[in-house]
Amino acid sequence: MARWLNVGLALWLVASSFLLGAAGSPSRIADLADGFALLVVSLLAPPGTAAGFAAIVLGTWIMAAPSVLAYPSPAAAMNEVLAGILVVAFTLHPNLGARRAARA
C-alpha cells in the first residue's frame, strides 16, 4: 500500500511543480527531479526493505528543499514539506492505510 501512496506523491510533486512553481525557478526543477526520483524509488525499492531506505533519504531531502532552495511561495514550500513528511511516514510504516483482516 505504501508503495502506491508514494507513487501518488511522486506524481503530485511533478504536477505541483507546474501548479505552484514559478517557471525556471530552482524549486520547479527540484520538484520535477524529486518527483521522478521518488517514482523510480517507489517502483523499484519496496518499503520495509534495505533498498527502501532510499525513499527515506529522498523524503528527508524533499522536506529540506524549501530551506535550501528559493521557493517562490509559502504554498509551494509547505507542499514540499508535507509531501516529504508523508513519504517518510509511508516508507517507515509500509502497512499504513491498509485494511486489517477482520477478527473472527
pLDDT tens digits for range 43-68: 887 666 766 788 899 999 999 998 89
Q: What are phi and psi of 78, to 5 degrees?
A: -65, -40
- Measuring CA to CA, which residue among 67, 65, 58 is closest to residue 90? 58
Global pTM reads 0.81
Write out pLDDT tens, residues 28-45: 888 899 999 999 998 887
